[in-house]
Structure 1
Amino acid sequence: MWLLFLCALCFVLVVGAALFIRKTLLKDSIFSEDSLRPPAPLVTDEKQRDAVLKKGFRRDHIPADLDAVVIGSGLGGLSAAAVLAKAGKRVLVLEQHDQAGGCCHTFQNQGFEFDVGIHYVGQLHENSLLRVALEQITEGQLQFVRLEEQFDTVLLGRGSERRAFHIHAGKEEMRESLRRQFPNDTLAVDQLMRLMKVQNTARHTPLLACLKMMPLWLVRFLMRTKLLGRISCVFGLASSSHSHLMAKLTQNKDLTALSSYFFYGAPPRDSSFLINALFLHHYKRGAYYPRGGASEFAFHIIPVIQKAGGAVLVRAPVQRVLVNKEGTTYGVTVRKGQEEVEVIAPVVISDAGIFNTFQKFLPEEIQIKPEIQSLLGLVRHGMGSFLVFVGLDGSKEELGIVSTNFWMYKHNDLDQLMEHYSSLSREEVVGNIPMVFLTFPSAKDPTSSIRQPGKSCMTLLTMAKYEWFEEWKNTKLNKRGPEYEDLKMSMARELLDWALEIFPQLRDKIVFMDAATPLSNMHYLGASCGEMYGAEHNVARFSPDVVAKIRPQTPVKGLYLTGQDVFCNRMAGALHGGLLCASALLSPKIYIDLLQLKKKLKRKTARKKA
């Protein structure tokens, strides 16, 4: 039996490797440590930054002889464009907002700067794959600040019932700190950490990406013969309900809540154990924040795109993907005033999400094709987000604020919390918000005190259903009427009151407050139903079959997907979506080259330390 299995496995791997090599090898790697430059001084001049981040769309700004056009300038779109640029391709990125960056953009109001989507990032330790990839697409210009070892605090319950749990970075400290906090459940902690360990999840997780690069017939063969599960346990973990698996490890609801406290819309019973475990693992080697703020991502990626003759243009709302009679894309149209401008390119890459791409941009006769509808049937809209932006009078030291993030829940049954919250009508929301994420961006970035002296900012985040705000979807920004404003600000005040339970000293220091609903995400980010994390990250989405089917290539020749909907949510997921998209267009050798460079740099560092 085992001999038959090994023979079959060898056959599959040999055939798959042969297909990859025959179809995809590039002559030389596009990645090199020689492409990095010493970090330049932080640019704070607004005119200089606007020249990069806010270059407007005009006919004479469209580069000639484009190789590709990208819809959306989130990290998925920018990373795909940058990798293509490093391969010598001329790429135009089109952004409907007035500045580039997507969830990585920042905005200013009354002298305060707020980020909207990048709150902290992990796996950026020296020579990590994520760090190497970011260094390559920014030429080494993007710098990060490491946060405190205790990067997160999780608060379960309110008032006298509130219990605080602390999450620490460190290869061993994360486990040891949890063991100290759960002395009667050390075995469960050890089992959780064992499942998170590199050999069981992190090293095997790239196999999920491999499913998106393998021929679909090969994936189906591996599934049908049940070889997939024997190759790695990662596929089983990806398909496992988080709550169901944790119930096998422990009956401690506090520990169960901590294992899935990174909330993104899907309750633990409906989410993948692997994804939740990877979020914890993501910060095991430390949490980081971009030096200079979240807009530094776009600010340093765009010049790499420009160097190859490409451009990133804003105020460029794409209206349609152009498809010829043969069913092949040949460009897009952009609304400019009262007219539509055609932008011609043989490849169209969409970072606008799977729903916008297939339901908004494609001609109706293509939207209704069975292969398109089949892909849409695999996913559903993620939950919307609700953010509160608070401006504070005073420095970090004067206010006593910290770089640690706070995740607060009314109690420790996250499944019950989310089920009840999702069932509420609009009239029932205020007074029943069950969770909030609290963070101080200005306390994380040491340049904030230079760029906005004497000012600090706080961001609060919870999830919100699009349906609660759908009535006002056709109204204009800042003109949605008193009922909308009352709902928005009542929710905002509820979140603020919760935050002030933790930081009461801030009550008299608030000089500015505003909120963003799912409709704000639709306006600024182009999110189809106000989602911040794209298509819902439920457990069904991470079954091998769905993982393999949702890939950069689409049923429309020349049209590709990138970003969170291709791989996973948050910054790292969007970046890997961009790498997968570039790999589909260039070669799967993209990943191999990154890994080889990572190993080379690691050996070089080891020699220096020896």
Structure 2
Amino acid sequence: MATLATYFAVFAENFSATSLLISVSVLSSVFLLRKFSRSDKSCNPFKEDARRPPEPLVIDKDARNKVLKKGAAFSVEKVPSDLDAIVIGSGPGGLTTADILRKSGKHGAGSGAAWETRRLSHTFGLKGLQFDCGIHYVGKMEDSSTVRVLLDQITEGQLQWASLDDDYDVAVLGEPDQMRWVPIRCGRQQYKQELLQHFPGEEQAIEMFLKKTKEVADGADILGVLKILPLWLCKVLVKTGIVHVLNSFFRYMSRSTKEVLDELTDNAGLKTVFAHNFGDHGVLPSKSGFALQASLAEHFRDGGYYPVGGASEIAFHIIPVIKKAGGAVLCRAPVSQILIDNDGRATGVRVQDKKVGEVDIHAPVIVSATGVYNTYHNLLPTEVAQNTGLGDVLKAVSQSCSCLSVFVGLRGTKEELGLKAQNIWLFAGNDMERLQEEYSSLTPEEASEADPPVLFISFPSAKDPSWEQRCSPERSTCTILNFSIPPAWFERWNDECVKHRSDEYQHLKQAIGQHMWEQTCRLFPELQDKVEFIEVATSISNNHYINVSHGEIYGLEHCRTRCSAEMALKLRPETPVPGLFLTGQDIFLTGFVGSVFSGVFTAGAVLERYVIQDLWNLCKKIKDKKTQ
């Protein structure tokens, strides 16, 4: 994010004298608030560079389980006696919040407890191979980038990243006998030149797309501004329309991706390529705001990255940092309720312990990283939840898409199988919206005999340079995602026991999964006879393993309503319940980086400090030191 000072120039160009005077007054108050209201209320969590030389990768299972599983198993004895904060959920947002609180020197040095360490940033094992649940690639991990500096600080520099291939994504268009492979290359010039080879008459459209995505993404800071400034001031910015004059971000968020792309070109194939990675937020171009797709495009403009050692390395390196200062990260103890006292304040959580039953744990600050839906419907007492305003959010915005996942174990190394560190986005045709709608309208039985129209195909073992060291030098993995699955196809089996569901359920998911694998083999025929096993997970698998209700993988749906300036006022870290805060992708944006930055915003709200400014200052200090 840029500093707010840059917005004065925008005002001067777009406002009348009266409006300019009002705007300067408003923004002046912002600076006064930033300078005097919050800066001295807590310690700077990013005062010093916390990095240390990276230690060797830990591959010993017992050592890892001591941090992630058995060693983190809940017991009353492990809960610190002087808790000042409790974080429910251990996704990137929750862990980031807990870590920054620890680093702040306030709230018991960030002492806290995070329950339920099974989220999309973790991994699982199948027959000796490791698979990631949700992190397939991340952008903006270049040295000294803001997000890289942040992650280096909360992991003390222990989390390492490997860059994907130059063509980190490939869009594959068309029927099997007419497939066109369009590499998505990192770098603006490389991206443009590659697309011109496939769409030679579309130079103007490509240049305009690049111009618009940069313009919009450069203004995305305004969304963060609405998360950290006082709510009354944010309401002024939104209700007066000032927020729409600051830059074009929210103006383009109100326009659909499809609408903007239709203005750029009539070429259906090129429009599909422009929006090829819509699955990263899960909203079709007709429903997503162009600002969301533009920000995603710019997020990966310089390429993709993968955590060395797999997604579990994220929690593996954050947890010890939290514990080092007296905090605790505990799992296998579901939180059933947020406790509210007679004054309406959040004072603790009720935990279901297998050994002793219900246990109440108290702290003056409660942070829910479990999502708006879970917090509203499952954790807060009904009468309290109804007064939070979250019910209005859930009426206006549904949950995000689900997916059906196929995990494949393969015989052979990445060299033998020709696997690359990239993602494949397969489209059965250029009209992705129609194809998606037609497929989703099928009955489950019809779908079991049909090819899905859109697939995401990835080879995690080829992305991780540590794979041969920590897993198997002679085996590889493939992950395939199908975003066209209505949760209703599988919800009838939701109450059946996991791993003991009916034959009908098994047949349906295996049939759909087999079609997905056959489509993959049309692209990579050399994999056909290299299969060791195929495992299929559905929306109700998500319900069980990542604790969601409708198989959703991105929290609230990232439609235009959810991403609007008006909704940004409702999806903030603070809640109307004193002592209760929210974090995670629901209060910012989808994905790993969105979740991580939500943790920065939430920690700032808890600490009553502009933590993001502390982070920017450290980034500048690190960059200045590198140039010396």
The two structures have a TM-score, normalised by structure 2, of 0.93
Q: Is the 8 A contact 1:212 1:549 kept in 2?
A: no
Q: Are residues 1:440 and 2:459 paired? A: yes
1:526 to 532, 539, 547: 547
| Alpha-carbon distance between aligned partners in 2 of 1:423 and 1:492, rounded to the nearest angstrom | 18
| 4+ long deviations beyond 6 Å | none
1:460 aligns with 2:480: yes
Matched residue type, 1:298 = A
Residues of 1 paired with 2:350 and 2:336: CA distance?
6
What residue is the counterpart of 2:237 in the other structure?
222
1:82 deviation in Å?
0.7
Offset at residue 32 of structure 1 (A) = 4.4
- In the alignment, which of 268, 278, 284 is matched to residue 267 of structure 1? 284
User: 1:101 Cα deviation (Å)?
Assistant: 5.2
Offset, 1:467: 1.1
Cα 1:146–1:345, aligned 2, differ >3 Å: closer, same or farther? same
When the two chains are superposed, the root-mean-square deviation of aligned CA atoms in Å is 1.6
Which of these residues, 78, 81, 87, is aligned with residue 70 of structure 1?
87
Aligned pair in 2 of structure 1 residues 91, 412: CA closer, same or farther (>3 Å)?
farther
Q: State the AA in 1 paired with 2:443.
A: S
What CA distance in whole angstroms lies between the structure 2 residues aligned with 1:538 and 1:105?
Answer: 26
The aligned residue for residue 423 of structure 1 is: 441
Deviations 1:511-565 (A, max 9, x none): 1110111111111110121111111111111111011221111222111111111
Per mean C-alpha deviation after superposition, the further-off stretch among 443-452 and 411-420 is 411-420
Offset, 1:432? 4.5
- Counterparts of 1:428-577 in structure 2, within 5 Å, are 428-430=446-448, 431-451=450-470, 452-463=472-483, 464-577=485-598
1:40 counterpart = 2:40: no
- Pairwise CA distance, 1:606: 2.8
Alpha-carbon distance, 1:275 to partner: 1.2
Greater shift, 248-257 or 86-95, is seen at 86-95
Specify whether residues 178 and 606 from structure 1 end up closer, same or farther in structure 2 by C-alpha distance, changes over 3 A only: farther
Farther off after superposition, 446-455 or 167-176:
167-176
Other structure's SS at 1:536 match: coil
SS of the residue corresponding to residue 87 of structure 2 reads: strand
**1:37 positional shift:** 0.4
Instruction: Tell me what 1:409 maps to.
Output: 427
Check whether the contact 2:252–2:290 (CA below 8 A) recurs between aligned residues: yes
* Residues 33-63 of structure 1: CA deviation (Å, up to 9, x unaligned): 5311000000001111111111200111111
Q: C-alpha distance in 1, partners of 2:194/2:48?
A: 37
Q: Give the alignment partner of residue 2 of structure 1, picking from 7, 16, 26.
A: 16
Could you tell which deviates more after superposition, 473-482 or 369-378?
369-378
- 2:323 is aligned with what amino acid? Q
CA contact (8 A) 1:70 1:91 kept: no
Q: Which residue of 2 aligns with 1:395?
A: 413
Residue deviations 1:326-365 (CA, integer Å, cap 9, x gap): 1111111111127111111111111111000010111122
Retained in 2: the 8 A contact 1:387–1:462?
Answer: yes
Task: Give 2:361's aligned residue.
Answer: 343
Asked whether the equivalents of residues 94 and 316 of structure 1 are also in contact (C-alpha less than 8 Å), the reply is: no
**Cα distance in 2 for residues equivalent to 1:182 and 1:72:** 46
| Partner Cα separation in structure 2 for residue 214 and residue 505 of structure 1 | 55
Matched residue type, 1:543: S
Match of 1:16 among 30, 38, 47: 30
**SS, match of residue 511 in structure 1:** strand
Match of 2:266 among 230, 236, 251: 251
2:197 aligned with 1:177: no
Question: Using the alignment, how far apart are the partners of 1:238 and 1:34 within structure 2?
Answer: 36
Mapping for residues 168-207 of structure 1, pairs under 5 Å: 168-197=185-214, 200-207=215-222
Identify the range of structure 1 (494-503 vs 590-599) with the bigger mean alpha-carbon deviation: 590-599
State the shift of 1:454 in Å: 0.9
Distance 1:73 1:28, change over 3 A: closer
**Per-residue displacement from partner, 1:358-401 (whole Å, max 9, x unpaired)?**
10111122233373422322321111121110001111112121
User: Where do 5+ consecutive residues of structure 2 fail to align?
Assistant: 1-14
Specify the SS of the correspondent of 2:588.
Answer: coil
8 Å CA contact 1:417–1:434 kept in 2: the answer is yes
Q: State whether residues 32 and 136 of structure 1, in contact with CA within 8 Å, keep that contact through their aligned partners in structure 2.
A: no
C-alpha distance in 2 between matches for 1:107 and 1:215:
41
Give me the whole-angstrom Cα distance separating, in 2, the residues matched to 1:396 and 1:32: 43
Whichever residue aligns with residue 433 of structure 1, its letter is P
Q: CA deviation at 1:172?
A: 2.7
Distance 1:28 1:319 in 2: 33
- How far the C-alpha of 1:28 sits from its partner, in A, is 4.8
- Aligned mate of 1:109, from 105, 109, 126: 126
Q: What are the residue-to-residue correspondences of 1:66-105 with 2, within 5 Å?
A: 66-88=83-105, 89-96=109-116, 100=117, 102-105=119-122
CA contact (8 A) 2:401 2:552 kept: yes
Equivalent residue number for residue 210 of structure 1: 225
Per the normalisation by structure 1, the TM-score is 0.96
Q: 1:383 aligns with which of 401, 409, 419?
A: 401
Q: For 2:304, which of 282, 287, 292 is the aligned residue?
A: 287
Asked whether the 8 Å contact 1:92–1:313 carries over to 2, the reply is no
Q: Is the 8 A contact 2:49 2:153 kept in 1?
A: no
**Residue range with higher mean Cα deviation, 550-559 or 423-432:** 423-432
Offset at residue 292 of structure 1 (A): 1.0
Aligned match of 2:68: 53
Q: Which residue of 1 aligns with 2:8?
A: none
- Asked whether the equivalents of residues 466 and 529 of structure 1 are also in contact (C-alpha less than 8 Å), the reply is yes
Given that 2:168 and 2:421 are in contact with CA atoms closer than 8 Å, whether structure 1 keeps it comes out as yes
Query: Of residues 311, 319, 322 in structure 2, which corresponds to 1:305?
Result: 322
Q: CA deviation at 1:404?
A: 1.6
CA contact (8 A) 1:73 1:93 kept: no
How many Å separate the matches in 1 of 2:175 and 2:47?
51
Does the 8 Å contact 1:579/1:590 carry over to 2?
A: yes
What SS class does the counterpart of residue 348 from structure 2 fall into? strand
Q: Which moved more, 1:122-131 or 1:371-380?
A: 371-380
Once the two structures are aligned, what percentage of the paired residues are identical? Answer: 39
**3-state SS of 1:560 partner:** strand
State the distance in 2 between where 1:5 and 1:364 align. Answer: 44
Secondary structure in structure 2 of the residue aligned to 1:541: coil
Q: How many pairs were matched up?
A: 602
Cα separation, 1, equivalents of 2:383 and 2:241:
38
For structure 1, which segment, 258-267 or 455-464, has the greater mean C-alpha deviation from structure 2 after superposition?
Answer: 258-267
Q: CA deviation at 1:64?
A: 1.4
Distance (Å, rounded) in 1 between the aligned partners of 2:66 and 2:84: 23
1:354 aligns with 2:372: yes
Q: Distance in 1 between matches of 2:137 and 2:288?
A: 22
SS in 2 for 1:508: coil
Equivalent AA in structure 1 for residue 178 of structure 2: E
1:207 Cα shift? 1.1
2-side partners of 1:365 and 1:128: how far apart? 44
